Amino acid sequence: MDETKIQSFLIVFSIIAFALALTMIFLFAIFQKRKNKLLLERQEAENRFKEEIIETQIEIREETLRNISWELHDNIGQLLTLAKIQLGQVEENNNNVSEAEQTLTQCLTELRSLSKLINPNTFRSLSLVNALKMEMERFNRMKYLETKLTFNEESFELDTKVEIIIFRMLQEFFANTMKHSKASKLEVNVTYEGDTLVIMAIDNGIGFNAQSGDFEGIGLMNIKSRAKIIKAEALITSQLGKGTEFFLKYKNQNDEAYRSSSG
């Protein structure tokens, strides 16, 4: 091989090597750009999740304060007033002493229940099902609604922060049922099998047209936005005169964003 051919070979080899190097650099740059984009999206998702948790905790706290106000005024206040009347009539009828004692006993029971509602650690120590029990028993006591809760498991492994969001979604549905639906009955079924949680809540209210603007106006869109945050499936169906149904399906997942935000 003469010198000219060797030089040509070296030139071609250098060009190919340079082209390969440029290709590798280009591919590495694309890979790095995609990696940075994924990391940024993951960070944004984590930040949205944290913001939603904070907002949800504030809303639960506000809902709790509203519940306390209702119970103090509509329940405990009336019981104490009744006990006062009964004690004021002791001279006329001795039976009123026993009735007043029963009324005060009931009042103390309600105060103990209320103290649990006030305690910020209550929900952390409760399973989702037990928190729903407490909420629905309150509806029954206050005679807001006749409620029924069914479930196949009383407790199951879920991230506490995810449970808080799910509980708030249900509270949103309950609030709509009480304020807008004119319902007299509310049924909730909770099923957890394998790694999947399914919740169905149904009221017997007047319903609404899900295609109209009322759907957003009554705040039910918040449920879907929260479902998106925790990667759950949420569906609300309703017809005028036929009540409203809320369906939630959540697949338990070990999402790194959730784990890092709970740490």
CA distance 179 to 139: 13
Q: Are 232 and 195 in contact (CB under 8 A)?
A: no
List beta partners, residue 200. Answer: 189, 247
Give the pLDDT band (50/70/90) at residue 25: confident
Which run of H or of E encompasses 150?
strand 146-151
pLDDT for the residue 255: 45
CA distance 86 to 96: 5
CATH number attached to the domain at 144-263:
3.30.565.10
Q: Are 230 and 250 in contact (CB under 8 A)?
A: yes
- The set of residues, in sequence order, having a beta carbon less than 8 Å from that of 247 and lying 6+ positions away, is 198, 199, 200, 233, 234, 235, 236, 237
Strand order in the sheet with 233-238: 146-151, 185-193, 196-203, 244-251, 233-238
Query: Other CB atoms closer than 10 Å to residue 56's CB: what's the count?
Result: 21
| Model confidence at 226: pLDDT above 70 | yes
Q: Are 203 and 236 in contact (CB under 8 A)?
A: no
pLDDT for the residue 23: 86
Q: Which of 40-44, 135-139, 218-222 has the lowest mean pLDDT?
A: 218-222
- The set of residues, in sequence order, having a beta carbon less than 8 Å from that of 195 and lying 6+ positions away, is 251, 252, 253
Q: Which of 22-31, 106-115, 237-246 has the lowest mean pLDDT?
A: 106-115
Residue in this structure with the two tokens 């099998």, named with its chain if needed: 193
CA distance 54 to 60: 10
The domain limits of the chain are 144-263
pTM above 0.75, yes or no: no
